[in-house]
């Protein structure tokens, strides 16, 4: 059993949990993920590792409450335990040798982008971070990004905080200002990563994206997380989750990702009804 030692609401739909998992914390690296089950009969859900503390033996996850599994997870509090917490899985992000990098995060994807920005900063890399949200109320990890970034651009769709516009607007302006990036790392909604990759391809800048398709076993056996990258089939759980953004078939990934929307909506509604009954 894996104890929750800290729980914090980052915004109305996003929660941070710090989990006691010393063996995972010992091996974890930015870019890797875990698979959890809240109870013995719960759905298996992958979440990218948001942070880790080897000395404390803890792993931090940040999740958006969007479906039945994350709703169930959010009912747990400090002192409660998760039934399963497996990892680290996937390949770590490649950070060695980079001197100047733009890290682009969108929404809850910023939770994945932050540990990569942190490691790059600790390695002496100049980090320019661009993070985007729909509005001010959804902004997360602002102070954390400030601490590891030479430049931080916060973008909101409605202009309620930071600058109004898309992350691609800020990234292109930084490029036009003369910044020469060794690499751009983009993490967030698939559509955002697609347009970031289209932009950087125009400027011939290497771009890495973190893909998080539907995943069940985390070992490449189920095939649920398959992607087309450079015309070849890849599996996000063992070949990734990081891939060359200029080679990913984003349209296919978005199509596959939408296959279970109706099912997820039904599960969310059923979970809401169940929680209401438990409250009564």
Reported confidence tier of residue 259, pLDDT bands at 50, 70, 90: low
pLDDT of residue 273: 53
Q: What is the pLDDT of residue 34?
A: 92
Beta carbons within 10 angstroms of residue 187's beta carbon: 32
Are 45 and 13 in contact by the 8 Å Cβ rule? The answer is no
Query: How many other CB atoms are found less than 10 A from the CB of residue 100?
Result: 15
| pLDDT above 90 (res 75) | yes
User: How far is Cα 103 from Cα 81, in angstroms, rounded to an integer?
Assistant: 33
What value does the mean pLDDT take over residues 50-73? Answer: 92
Q: What are phi and psi of 129, to 5 degrees?
A: -105, 135
Q: Percent of the chain beyond pLDDT 90?
A: 70
Spatial strand order of the sheet with 81-82 comes to 81-82, 2-11, 14-20, 58-64, 45-53, 33-37, 84-89
pLDDT band at 15 (very low <50, low <70, confident <90, very high): very high
pLDDT given at position 152: 97
Report how far residue 125's alpha carbon sits from residue 53's, in angstroms, rounded to the nearest whole number. Answer: 21
Domain 100-257 - what CATH class? alpha beta
Q: For the segment 85-118, what is each residue's pLDDT rounded down to a tens digit?
A: 999 998 998 988 999 999 999 999 999 899 999 9
Q: What pLDDT, on the 0 to 100 scale, is given for residue 216?
A: 73
Domain ranges of the chain: 2-89, 100-257
Question: Is the confidence at residue 277, as pLDDT, over 60?
Answer: no
Per-residue pLDDT at 237? 83
What does the alpha-carbon distance between residue 102 and residue 207 come to, in Å, rounded to a whole number?
9
Superfamily of domain 2-89: Translation factors (2.40.30.10)
Q: What whole-number percentage of the chain has pLDDT above 70?
A: 91
| Structure tokens that stand for 31 in this block | 């870019």
Mean pLDDT score, 204-214: 90
Higher pLDDT, 197 or 264: 197
Residue 43 has pLDDT above 80, yes or no: yes
pLDDT value of residue 263 = 52
pLDDT band at 221 (very low <50, low <70, confident <90, very high): confident
Tens of pLDDT along 145-173? 999 999 999 999 999 999 999 999 999 99
User: What is the pLDDT of the chain when averaged over all its residues?
Assistant: 89
């Amino acid at each position: 059993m894996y104890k929750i030692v800290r729980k914090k609401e980052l915004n109305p739909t996003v929660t941070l949990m710090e989990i006691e998992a010393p063996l995972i914390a010992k091996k974890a690296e930015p870019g890797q993920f875990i698979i959890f089950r809240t109870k013995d009969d719960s759905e298996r859900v992958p979440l990218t590792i948001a942070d880790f503390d080897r000395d404390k033996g803890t792993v931090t996850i940040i999740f958006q409450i969007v479906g039945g599994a994350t709703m169930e997870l959010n009912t747990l509090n400090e002192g409660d335990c998760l039934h399963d917490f497996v990892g680290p899985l996937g390949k770590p992000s490649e950070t060695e040798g980079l001197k100047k990098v733009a890290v682009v995060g969108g929404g809850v994807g910023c939770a994945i982008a932050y540990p990569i920005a942190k490691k790059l900063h600790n390695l002496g890399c100049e980090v320019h971070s661009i993070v985007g949200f729909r509005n001010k109320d959804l902004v997360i990890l602002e102070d954390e990004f400030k601490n590891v970034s030479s430049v931080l651009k916060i973008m909101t769709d409605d202009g309620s905080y930071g600058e109004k516009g898309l992350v691609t607007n800020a990234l292109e302006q930084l490029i036009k200002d003369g910044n020469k990036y060794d690499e751009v790392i983009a993490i967030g909604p698939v559509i955002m990563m697609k347009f970031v990759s289209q932009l950087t391809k125009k400027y011939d800048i290497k771009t890495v994206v973190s893909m998080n398709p539907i995943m069940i076993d985390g070992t490449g056996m189920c095939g649920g997380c398959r992607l087309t990258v450079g015309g070849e089939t890849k599996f996000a759980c063992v070949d990734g989750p990081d891939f060359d953004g200029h080679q990913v078939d984003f349209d296919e990934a978005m199509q596959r990702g939408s296959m279970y929307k109706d099912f997820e909506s039904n599960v969310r509604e059923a979970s809401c009804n169940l929680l209401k009954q438990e409250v009564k």
